[in-house]
Chains A and B, each alone.
Chain A
Amino acid sequence: MIAGFIESLLIVSVRLLAGAQARWQGCGQSPEQRIYVANHTSHLDVVLLFSALPAALRRRTRPIAAAEYWTAGPLRRYLIHNIFRGVLIERDRSQLNPLEPAASALRQGDSLIFFPEGTRGPGEGLQPLKPGIFHLASWFPGVDIVPVWIDNSYRILPKGFAIPVPLLCSITFGTPLRCKAGQQQNEFLAEVRTALEALQPC
């Protein structure tokens, strides 16, 4: 109840700040299981992507988040567990298979939000993609990988600033792709990268 209220509040505020226009360009809204693969430039990205999904899909979609960031402090812990229902990943490779929590969420039938750059970039363009998305895609070859481009969010809340300013953002959903049998890691990552960059508004 309270969590639902806070979630709505976050979504309303981000729409006020960013307009958050969703463009379903390469696919429609669908309840089937998906991994949304998005560029990452701002703390607002998860809320922006959430706000672009209808409530029914949002409930079954969980963002992948860095454990060391989201478990520091009670507010962050509350947000990531109760509001975003995030899947926490250890980035320090202390686990044998750091992607196991993500794989288990996929086995439960949840959709995921995945930032393949692994961390926030400085703005325009993409940083190199980490191999994580290739592993997930090859373990679950039947799940659609949906490329998503979040435009302009780095200008709302740049790295190093605490207060956001209003600017219009758009969230563009591209054509789903899958990891084909025997596809190499580099080849697949290049394919994801091209798909993401193709969504960038010029």
Chain B
Amino acid sequence: MDTRTPEVYWILGSLLALVSLASLIGLLLRRRQPANPAIENLNARIRAWLVMILIGGGALLAGRIAVILLFACVSFLALREFVTQTPVRRADHSALFMCFFIALPVQYLLIGADKYGLFSIWIPVYGFLGLAVLAALFTDTTRFLDRTAATQWGLIVCVYCVSHIPALMTLQIPGYGNRAPLLMVFLVLITQASDILQYVWGKLFGRHPLVPAVSPSKTVEGLLGGVLSATLLGALLWRITPFKIWQAGVIALLIAVLGFLGGLVMSAIKRDRGIKDWSHLIEGHGGMLDRIDSLCFSAPVFFHLTRYFFGHT
């Protein structure tokens, strides 16, 4: 298993070229219209993308352990944002401690040790039951189900789901050699490209709101344009995957749709809590969870489908 295949260099190089081009356009736009908040926000987003590409690319080039550590940090930051918005009380302190300092590190250690039989159930079985038991031991029954469900949700979405991104590196696929890290690159590229493309299509052609009660910025045109162009991108990237070209397209379609649904569900939670963004961690984007909400849904499904249909079992 190698994270430094020639394809990784090609993709990182292309991404950097793309961001440089975007920065240049952003600079020109700002020169034409100084102090336009929409353009300032665009530039902030582009800067943040550059930083994210550098961090992600740096981790890839540094190797497998660095990638696992990176996603452990992502989980930590996401869980911190999630827990902040949940109705946890004093009695949940120990449960939260378990989430951050035991469940999270163990999950990533298990992935590092390639223990599929454990990392695929550690949180859904032991974490789920353990958190409920801990909450009950502290005998505070006020809104018991709300609080327990919230910590369980946070752990599943921010740790379990996110951890399936680096877990892709553990997959053994016949004929794919040591290139499993490229599956991770494929997933992240398609999910994030689909997010951006939905945004762009929505801004350019968006007329009909899709689910105004949950997320007013999502439109039918944005969804269709974004998902279909992400599907096309996935098919074009088939060479870095173990899939045939039509399979790559179908899987990219699935990833894009799941990413959209992930964003939708997480928006519903934000609506419920009365917030617009999870935090202010990434300039122009909001919080960590705002950036990865689509990956939370696309990663586990992509992992398990790929493993079931293409992997050595």
- Of residues 83 through 140 on chain B, the ones whose CB sits less than 8 Å from some CB of chain A are 83-84, 88, 90, 93, 96-97, 100
CA–CA, A152 and B76, complex, Å: 18
CA–CA, A175 and B157, complex, Å: 40
B88 (CB) vs chain A CBs: closest residue: A155
- Contact A165 B279, CB 8 Å, known A155-B88, A158-B93: no
B80 pairs with A19, CB closer than 8 A? yes
**Chain A residues with CB under 8 A of B280:** 21
B281 (CB) vs chain A CBs: closest residue: A19
B79 located at the interface, meaning its Cβ lies under 8 Å from any Cβ of chain A in the complex: yes
CA–CA, A123 and B88, complex, Å: 13
A168 pairs with B100, CB closer than 8 A? no
A158 (CB) vs chain B CBs: closest residue: B90
A152 pairs with B84, CB closer than 8 A? yes
A5 located at the interface, meaning its Cβ lies under 8 Å from any Cβ of chain B in the complex: no
- How many A residues touch B, CB cutoff 8 Å? 12
CA–CA, A158 and B91, complex, Å: 10
**Chain A residues with CB under 8 A of B195:** none
User: Of the candidates A152, A161, A166, which one forms a contact with B100 in the assembled complex, judged by CB atoms under 8 Å apart?
Assistant: A166
B81 located at the interface, meaning its Cβ lies under 8 Å from any Cβ of chain A in the complex: yes
Which residue, of A158, A163, A165, has the highest number of chain B Cβ atoms within 10 A? A165
Contact with A along B293-311 (1 / 0, CB 8 A): 0000000000000000000
- Contact A167 B93, CB 8 Å, known A19-B281, A21-B280: no
**Chain B residues with CB under 8 A of A21:** 279-280
A166 pairs with B80, CB closer than 8 A? yes
CA–CA, A168 and B273, complex, Å: 15
**Chain A residues with CB under 8 A of B84:** 152, 167-168
CA–CA, A165 and B93, complex, Å: 7
A165 pairs with B281, CB closer than 8 A? no
- Contact A165 B81, CB 8 Å, known A19-B281, A158-B90: no
**Chain B residues with CB under 8 A of A168:** 80-81, 84, 279
B88 pairs with A166, CB closer than 8 A? no
CA–CA, A57 and B100, complex, Å: 33
A167 pairs with B90, CB closer than 8 A? no
CA–CA, A194 and B93, complex, Å: 31
CA–CA, A168 and B84, complex, Å: 6
- Of residues 162 through 199 on chain A, the ones whose CB sits less than 8 Å from some CB of chain B are 163, 165-168
B275 to chain A, nearest CB (A): 10
Contact with B along A132-170 (1 / 0, CB 8 A): 000000000000000000001001001001010111100
- Of residues 260 through 308 on chain B, the ones whose CB sits less than 8 Å from some CB of chain A are 279-281
A161 pairs with B93, CB closer than 8 A? yes
B83 pairs with A166, CB closer than 8 A? yes
CA–CA, A94 and B303, complex, Å: 68
A150 to chain B, nearest CB (A): 14
**Chain B residues with CB under 8 A of A163:** 97
**Chain A residues with CB under 8 A of B79:** 166
B283 to chain A, nearest CB (A): 12
CA–CA, A90 and B76, complex, Å: 41
B195 to chain A, nearest CB (A): 23
Contact with B along A4-46 (1 / 0, CB 8 A): 0000000000000001010000000000000000000000000
Contact with A along B2-28 (1 / 0, CB 8 A): 000000000000000000000000000
A166 pairs with B90, CB closer than 8 A? no
- Contact A165 B90, CB 8 Å, known A19-B281, A21-B280: no
**Chain B residues with CB under 8 A of A165:** 83, 93, 96-97, 100
* Chain B residues close to A by CB (< 8 Å): 76, 79-81, 83-84, 88, 90, 93, 96-97, 100, 279-281
* Chain A residues close to B by CB (< 8 Å): 19, 21, 123, 152, 155, 158, 161, 163, 165-168
Q: A21-B280, A167-B84, A168-B80 are in contact. List 9 more A-B contacts (CB 8 A).
A: A19-B80, A19-B279, A21-B279, A123-B90, A152-B84, A161-B93, A165-B100, A166-B79, A168-B84
